Structure 1
Amino acid sequence: MSLLHRLSELRDSGERGVLFTVVEGEGIGGKELILESGERLGGGVPGDATGQFPELVRRGRNRLLSLDGDVKVFAEWYGPPPRIFVYGAVDTAEALCRAAKLLGWTAIVGDARGMFLTPERMPSADILIQKWPEEAIAELEPDHQTAVVVLTHDDKFDEPALKAALASEAFYVGALGSRRTTERRRGRLLEAGVAEEQLARIMGPCGLDIGADTQEETALAILAEILA
């Protein structure tokens, strides 16, 4: 199978990979495609470049690599768009999904309460998951291209959602709430057996401090923090 043909398949398969191309210096024109599965096609690319594959595929962005000997390699990332999973079908969830869609991300909302989790209330969501937090996150299987945001303000939802998210590969885990709520939540999670180093992953109160007031401004603050 040719390298170009394999690249064309990635759009439909949902696989992630990095295409390395030597653009300057010795070996110019060399190309090598590496997929998360371990599959490799092509060749002629220095190992100093391809050895950075694990970091590059997790970052999800293109990058120009400068190597010794004035060699430059362009690393081009391929894969499905990042996902944002919001637990809690509140108004801020719809605003967050709407903003994420502008970036081309896949927006998913989960909630156990069917009266809130409806297409009419969440028109910008690509997927709705009406399940309790642990079940919803187990179905989603967050990976290193998934951000999880918890918005319910209810311990019976917040705590299991955060525990399940922390047990996953999600690159971002955030929870909305006041600083007082955040400290109380932290204490309850410690009592529930969550390790200190795991709790450090939670961004809470989530969102950059931009003076957000409305739901749209709050969504912007959270999405900006996720991108950062």
Structure 2
Amino acid sequence: MSTDSTRIDVAETEMTSREAKGKAPLLADPPGQVDRKSRGFMGLRRHAGRGGGYKRGIAIFDFVVRLCTLVAAIAATATMATTDETLPFFTQFFQFQASYDDLPAFQFFVVAMAIACVYLGLSIPLSIVSIIRPHAVAARMLLIFFDLGMVVLTTAAASSAAAIVYLAHVGNSNANWLSICQQFNNFCQRTSGAVVAAFLAMLGFMFLVVLSAVILKKP
């Protein structure tokens, strides 16, 4: 009896071990599949890290360009708003004077560039948010929307002022408009500098729009 029971126990033990060996692969993934999964997860992490770093780098560049654009807009506004020249060789009762507020185009220039300066100052916190959270879409969409509006506004201001500055430099013989820059040299130099700064600000806004589009497109 003891011999038979011993044989039965041995047989049951062998069957149990064979069943365990047969079921073990069903409970765990094959080694190759585990390696592929781990490599896939690591690849996704590396890809996400590269994407976040890329967007953060562009956001930092956006912040720098925004500051440079603000400097150009402030220079254009301040230069035009303080342009005023009076010819010195006339008496105090009879003088020729040239000022920016004598021309509606220059007045529009000052107002438009002042609006651009205020917007740039308000947009800097949003630009900082984009640096901290490079994947934030709402802040970037808000920036690109208003940046496009500023491109239109600064283009209109710079173009209208440039037309007046051109007439001041060369005149128009068909309309009997004479050049005044030989007499009001300082006035023409300051207004020309303001127009150049405004066009630089316009280019800065255009570049900001391109940067925002790249950030939104990059996965």
Q: Which TM-score applies when normalising by structure 1?
A: 0.21
Instruction: For CA contacts below 8 A with separation 6 or more, give which structure has more relative contact order.
Output: 2
Decide which structure has greater strand share: 1
Provide TM-score, normalisation by structure 2. Answer: 0.21
Which has a greater percent of helix? 2
Q: Which has the larger radius of gyration?
A: 2
